Structure 1
Amino acid sequence: MSSIRSSKTVAGLAIILLLVVAGAATVHPDVLTIGAFSSASAQQITPTGWERITFGKIDVETEYNLVRAPDDSTVVLRATSDGGASGLVTRRRIDPNEYPILRWRWRVSNVLEDGNARTKDGDDYAARIYVTFDHDLGIGGRIKRTALKALGYDDIPSRALNYVWANQVDAGQIFPSAYTDWVMMIPVRSGSSDTGRWVTEQRNILEDYRRAFGEDPPAVTGIAIMTDTDNTGGKTTAYYGDIISVQR
């Protein structure tokens, strides 16, 4: 009898172990899908799990639609901007230590000739992806945020990395936004040499945050997409493919 009980105990422990392992795999997959545009319907306007970001003093919004890609049947997100600005955001809490790699693909029709990432008048981009973080502002920061909201900025990240397809600045640099040092600009592509074709990007947000802010990052709170032309008065179209976050 004791041997039977022992065998059952071992079997029971084995089952528990398998359940724990299976549960861990479910909670911590190798890949987190942030923007599953390819599995959406081309008839949708806003992707599931995403919401619009608008700016109080900008009347013209960027138009976002899920469409078939120009060169194949894959569903992608198209952004068309003609002198306006707005964005889309998905609220996701992600540990950058566990998922440091952000990967996406994008395509733009043209860069903005008057775009300049270092000036407010030139702060427009054919395509950009924000990563926002759960940073404690402190009293001074909260006062600053209140002042910015009074000026019409409704959705202001306390810390963010802004990956952009730029013009007039070299790719690979990191520098503060022309509007606030809460947002650090990272041109991952610059100029017109790759316009009109799909380009896949991969960034280590853990390392980029350390370089940008000189400290380890808090949790990611969201990912945002924006194509904007309100400062330069230009016009452009961008396509965004699926966005994923990957473990080391």
Structure 2
Amino acid sequence: MAKGAGLRAATTLARLAARGAMRALRPAPAGPEGGPAFAQAMRKLAAAPEAAAEIREFRLLSLKPDEQGWVEAGFEVAPGEEVTAIAAGALWASKALDMRFGPRIGVWLRAGANGTICKTQSAAASLRMAEGGPLHVVAKPPGEWADEQGRFDPAFPRAGLSGAFDVCLIVWKNGALKGLEALARAGDHEGLVAEALERARNPVRPPEGWRYLWRLGEGEIYREVKDADAHRICCHTNEDVGILQFPADFPLTDTTELRWRWKTDRLPCDLPEDIQPTHDYLSIAVEFENGQDLTYMWSSSLAEGTIFRCPLPYWDQVETHWVLRSQKSDLGRWLSEARPVKADYARAVGTPPGRIVRVWLIAVSVFQRGEGICEYADIELVDGERRLKII
């Protein structure tokens, strides 16, 4: 680490510690709490006759962020069945720095020992199971999987966090919507049933042609808006993380450009984003055939033109950040961009590969639990007469 970056990191950590101390004096709730009160409330709701008539399976589990690994729920699911997960509690990475993670990013499910993993979209959400088998669940804080079957990468041990998620799992006889309507008539607990019901009634779908990166799971961060005047993707992140991907098989030549417009209204962090505890940001990225990606980001504090390797484990091997915008006067304004991707890659990463394979939108707000709001429009890859319109 360069001397200037090292000093900046030390200063940022000192500011975080001071903030943590102030928050400790006036602690804010970490969301709905787990424990006996949560378990008692969920059992009471599920036992109400109207709700019980809709429930096929009901389980309460406590998930800890240690080497516990996948936990069997104690029942099987069939392909197409809907499972509702309602969770409370928090996982703590550092109480001194006030770094905690909620169930929105940390509750994962799979059917069978080798099923494909899937993540809940919030603390109270429903999932349609693509595969059948014994249901397994795990508390998985931000980190890395070895594969899509949920094996843990031994290079990233799961120790070092405290806390727990208490999770209520319900398999419905006639689907999540009908079941949650019955559960809501029986009552609620800290708004969690209402939250699950709202998501069942009005699910947030990824924009057409895009999908969330499986490593971080599905989310509700991005919404597609089409009207008479514009086609754009709106991003709203708050205490979560998500990467949206669009397939883009495109040659990388000296004249290849990534073009787009964006408007950023709010940044999720007000500190330099180049260390792990403050790595909350908004960006657009290009993924290459060699597995590397280059991300053009907004920064609250770093100078425009700053280039740095991602500070997170796993991502430090594949991702490079380029601060494209950081002027506060540009917030709230639509800005047009055009980047010479090959030249940028050569400067930021090294010898360029031959092809682009995907375009990403990235939103991270999990570390400082802030809020980020931005919009994207007119994204395209252009090389002479060749053009790939993305939105």
The alpha carbon displacement at 1:170 in A equals 0.7
Helix, strand or coil at the partner of 1:47:
coil
Q: Which amino acid aligns with 1:81?
A: T
The residue number in structure 1 matching 2:381 is 245
The residue number in structure 2 matching 1:185 is 321
Is 1:170 aligned to residue 170 of structure 2? no
The alpha carbon displacement at 1:88 in A equals 1.1
The alpha carbon displacement at 1:113 in A equals 3.8
Distance 1:116 1:171, change over 3 A: same
1:74 to 214, 218, 230: 230
Q: Which amino acid aligns with 2:345?
A: Y
Q: 2 CA distance for matches of 1:117 and 1:134? A: 27
The alpha carbon displacement at 1:77 in A equals 0.6
For structure 1, list consecutive stretches of 5 or more residues without a partner in the other structure: 1-43, 136-157
Q: 2 CA distance for matches of 1:50 and 1:181? A: 24
The residue number in structure 1 matching 2:247 is 91
Distance 1:197 1:223, change over 3 A: same
Q: 2 CA distance for matches of 1:177 and 1:109? A: 24
Matches within 5 A, 1:1-248: 45-53=205-213, 55-56=215-216, 61-67=219-225, 73-97=229-253, 100-125=256-281, 127-135=282-290, 158-179=291-312, 180-248=316-384
CA contact (8 A) 1:68 1:74 kept: yes
For structure 2, list consecutive stretches of 5 or more residues without a partner in the other structure: 1-203, 385-391
For each residue in 1:27-77, what CA deviation from the matched residue of structure 2 results, as whole angstroms up to 9, or x when unmatched? xxxxxxxxxxxxxxxxx9433221122555x8x9452111258xx831211
Deviating 4+ runs (over 4 angstroms) = none
For each residue in 1:143-169, what CA deviation from the matched residue of structure 2 results, as whole angstroms up to 9, or x when unmatched? xxxxxxxxxxxxxxx211011011211
Q: CA RMSD in A?
A: 2.4
Q: 2 CA distance for matches of 1:47 and 1:54? A: 16
Q: 2 CA distance for matches of 1:111 and 1:223? A: 21
TM-score by length of 1: 0.65
Helix, strand or coil at the partner of 2:333:
coil
TM-score by length of 2: 0.42
Q: Which amino acid aligns with 1:199?
A: L
Helix, strand or coil at the partner of 1:86:
strand
Q: Which amino acid aligns with 1:164?
A: M
The residue number in structure 2 matching 1:154 is none
CA contact (8 A) 1:114 1:232 kept: no
Distance 1:165 1:87, change over 3 A: same
Question: How many residue pairs were aligned?
Answer: 179
Helix, strand or coil at the partner of 2:241:
coil
Helix, strand or coil at the partner of 2:244:
strand
- Determine what percentage of the aligned residue pairs are the same residue: 24
Distance 1:68 1:49, change over 3 A: closer
Q: 1 CA distance for matches of 2:248 and 2:340? A: 17
Higher relative contact order (CA 8 A, sep 6+): 1
